[in-house]
């Protein structure tokens, strides 16, 4: 079988795999951004306990390998009576991991908005949360877009790790085809190309968003 | 309506305010001056609760400024502040800068808030700029917007923290003119400023601070004609060229 035949024959399965990869990436992005926002807000709270919880969470998630986190959630949690199917376990782990990085980007961006904006908002009677919601948050988001974009691009690539918990996403699809055809090089390259296309699309979206956000302020 | 009684504040071992007492009546215009680092900003920020203090008491309209968050928010809505660096919200249009707190804090509906915002913009001569963003305006225009924003809350008093010191010299007067007009209309104002021309024109009193102390707190004529303290004399000599 020549390479062209091989790839055209594998295309439907690779496409299915890519679709599942996108599904994992999008789910983890949406939940990760929500989680990141909550953790970022906790981390700048004036309360004592909340920032400590946020710091501990971020430290653990950033200080341990995603692969190990994946194993703990999928193979470890059943010991505590929590059995998750591979899809839920994968999305949960990716969300928890990305949430930590995203929260750090957001926290940095919130701190990057000057103290004077807080004072001005407070002097008008806005509460802490109103100030975050209407004054500091929107400005922080603009500052955070580049670094959020980088994390989300990493996330697309990190989805390949859910292959180890039996999810047939892009990487595992190509591995299954390789197992039947013994032609690793073209298939791995095809998989790599698809990841590259996905990341490039996301990076284009990031630039588009950045452009629109700057247009609105000037 | 504003009363400070022996207010003291420390940053660690460093005392920023020591036993500062004064009283400001409705309709008074009080100018606060003194060398840089003497505690002027800190003092006026204790009045609307932006700076906490450790000793003494601050009362505004009989309300104690210090502890309860609920009262603090209500108080801040009645005392507006204008900052040295304007602190307009850069992601909001000029008009939205004026309506945000009216809607979220005072609970006005959008139509009323916008009508009020446009009226105030007209008053500071910037009605045509309503749809622009702060970054598109000059410093003097931004500060006039900030004053309009302060007025949008129908404040009982306005605190000014060096409103003209970040401006290019040619823009100082457009801001001072608005402030003079406000003073003439009877607005209660506490102004940290080194614009002694403004002080001579509209101030009722001058407070002079040095190293966290209120060194002089006197009618403006007395302050300018015969300052008691050496420090105030030095200061005046330096500032009035
Ligand atoms: N957050 C802070 N921590 C420590 N020192 C501070 C802080 N803020 C202000 N200071 C000090 O307090 C003093 C008074 O500051 P400020 O009220 O801003 O003076 P002014 O407005 O008269 O220039 C200054 O010496 C300043 O360095
Ligand atoms: Mg100051």
pLDDT tens readout for residues A120-156: 999 999 999 999 999 999 999 989 999 999 999 999 9
**Ligand 1 — pocket residues by CB below 6 A?**
B 11, 16, 34, 36-42
Nearest-angstrom CA–CA distance, B6 and B20: 5
Domain region containing A30:
3-217
CA distances from A115 to A32, A120, B85, B174, B209 (A): 27, 9, 11, 27, 25
Distance of CA B62 to the CA centre of its chain: 20
Amino acid A216: pLDDT: 62
- Per-residue CA distances from B103 to A126, B46, B70, B76, B214 (Å): 10, 26, 18, 15, 38
Q: Please, what is the end-to-end C-alpha distance for chain B in angstroms?
A: 35
In this structure, of A119-128, A153-162, B19-28, B217-226, the range with the lowest mean pLDDT score is: B217-226
Is the distance from CB of A159 to CB of A24 less than 8 angstroms?
yes
CA distance B44 to B63: 16
- Ligand 1 centre to CA of B161 (Å) is 13
Looking at the DSSP bridge assignments, the partners of residue B214 are B209
What burial class does residue B144 get, using C-beta atoms within 10 Å of its C-beta: 0-12 exposed, 13-18 middle, 19+ buried? Answer: buried
pLDDT category at B35 given cuts 50, 70, 90 is: very high
Residue B72 scores a pLDDT above 80:
no
Query: Mean of the pLDDT values across residues A100-126?
Result: 95
CATH number, domain of A51, equals 1.10.3720.10
For the cut 90, the answer to whether the pLDDT of residue A111 exceeds it is: yes
What CA–CA distances, in Å, run from B82 to B68, B85, B98, B145, B189?
Answer: 24, 9, 13, 10, 11
| Edge-to-edge strand list for the sheet holding B157-161 | B79-82, B157-161, B188-192, B29-33, B205-210, B213-219
Instruction: Spell out which residues have Cβ within 5 A of ligand 2, the ion.
Output: B 41
Helix (H, G, I), strand (E, B) or coil at B10: strand
Whole-number mean pLDDT of chain A? 93
Average pLDDT score over residue span A16-25: 95
B241 pLDDT higher than 60? no
Domain count, chain A: 1
- The residue length of chain A stands at 218
Question: pTM of the entire structure?
Answer: 0.89
Hey, what are A85's tokens?
């199917």
Nearest CA to ligand 1 atom 7: B11
Neighbours of B131 (CB within 10 A): 10
* pLDDT value of residue B78: 82
> CB contacts < 8 Å between A and B, how many?
69
Q: How far is the CA of A40 from the centre of ligand 1 (A)?
A: 29
**A119 vs B: CB within 8 A:** yes
Q: How confident is the model at residue B68 (pLDDT cuts 50, 70, 90)?
A: low
Q: 3-state secondary structure string, chain A?
A: CCHHHHHHHHHHHHHHHHHHHHHHHHHHHHHHHHHHHHHHHHHCCCCCHHHHHHHHHHHHHHHCCHHHHHHHHHHHHHHHCCCCCHHHHHHHHHHHHHHHHHHHHHHHHHHHCCHHHHHHHHHCCCCHHHHHHHHHHHHHHHHHHHHHHHHHHHHHHHHHHHHHHCCCCHHHHHHHHHHHHCCHHHHHHHHHHHHHHHHHHHHHHHHHHHHHHHHHHC
Interfacial residues of B (vs A; Cβ cutoff 8 Å): 45, 48-50, 73-74, 76-77, 79-81, 83, 85, 87-91, 100-101, 104-106, 133, 135-136, 149, 153
DSSP, collapsed to helix, strand or coil, labels residue B91 as: coil
* Best mutation target, A46, A109, A116, A123, to test chain B (most B CBs within 10 A): A123
User: What pairing do the DSSP bridges indicate for beta strands B79-82 and B14-24?
Assistant: unpaired
Q: Which residues of B230-240 are buried (b: 16+ CB within 10 A; e: fewer)?
A: ebbeebbeeee
pLDDT at A179: 92
Q: Which ligand is nearest to the CA of B213?
A: 1
Q: Is the pLDDT of residue A119 over 70?
A: yes
What pLDDT, on the 0 to 100 scale, is given for residue A29?
95
Beta strand residue intervals within chain B, DSSP E:
2-11, 14-24, 29-33, 55-60, 63-64, 79-82, 157-161, 188-192, 205-210, 213-219
Helix axes B110-123, B139-151, angle to 10 degrees: 130
């Amino acid at each position: 079988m020549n390479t062209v035949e091989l790839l055209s024959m594998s295309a439907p399965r690779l496409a299915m795999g890519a679709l599942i990869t996108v599904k994992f990436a999008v789910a983890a992005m949406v939940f990760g951004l929500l989680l990141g926002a909550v953790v970022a807000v906790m981390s700048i709270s004036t309360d004592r306990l909340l920032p400590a919880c946020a710091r501990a969470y971020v430290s653990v998630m950033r200080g341990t390998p995603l692969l190990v986190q994946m194993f703990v959630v999928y193979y470890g949690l059943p010991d505590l009576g929590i059995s998750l199917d591979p899809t839920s376990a994968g999305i949960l782990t990716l969300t928890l991991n990305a949430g930590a990085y995203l929260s750090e980007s957001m926290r940095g961006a919130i701190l990057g908005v000057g103290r004077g904006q807080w004072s001005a908002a407070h002097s008008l009677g806005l509460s802490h949360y109103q100030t975050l919601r209407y004054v500091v948050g929107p400005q922080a988001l603009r500052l955070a877009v580049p670094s959020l974009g980088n994390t989300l691009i990493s996330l697309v690539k990190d989805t390949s790790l859910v292959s180890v918990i039996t999810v047939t996403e892009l990487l595992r699809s190509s591995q299954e085809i390789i197992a039947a055809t013994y032609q690793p090089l073209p298939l791995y390259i095809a998989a790599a190309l698809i990841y590259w296309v996905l990341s490039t699309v996301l990076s284009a979206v990031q630039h588009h968003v950045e452009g629109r956000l700057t247009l609105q302020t000037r | 309506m504003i009363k400070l009684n022996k207010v003291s504040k420390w940053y660690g071992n460093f005392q920023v305010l020591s036993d500062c007492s004064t009283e400001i009546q409705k309709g008074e215009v009080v100018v606060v001056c003194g060398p840089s680092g003497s505690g002027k900003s800190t003092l006026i920020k204790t009045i609307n609760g932006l700076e906490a203090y450790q000793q003494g008491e601050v009362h505004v309209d009989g309300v104690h400024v210090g502890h309860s968050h609920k009262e603090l928010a209500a108080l801040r809505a009645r005392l507006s502040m204008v900052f040295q660096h304007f602190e307009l919200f850069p992601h909001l249009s000029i008009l939205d800068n004026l309506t945000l707190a009216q809607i979220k804090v005072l609970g006005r509906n959008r139509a009323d808030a916008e009508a009020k915002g446009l009226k105030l913009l007209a008053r500071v001569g910037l009605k045509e700029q309503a749809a622009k963003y702060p970054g598109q305006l000059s410093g003097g225009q931004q500060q006039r917007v900030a004053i309009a924003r302060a007025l949008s809350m129908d404040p009982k008093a306005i605190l000014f923290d060096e409103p003209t010191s970040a401006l290019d010299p040619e823009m100082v007067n457009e801001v001072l003119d608005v402030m003079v007009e406000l003073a003439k209309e009877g607005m209660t104002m506490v102004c940290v400023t080194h614009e002694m021309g403004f002080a001579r024109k509209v101030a009722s009193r001058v407070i002079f601070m040095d190293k966290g102390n209120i060194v002089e707190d006197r009618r403006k004529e007395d302050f300018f004609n015969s300052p008691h303290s050496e420090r105030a004399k030095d200061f005046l000599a330096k500032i009035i060229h």
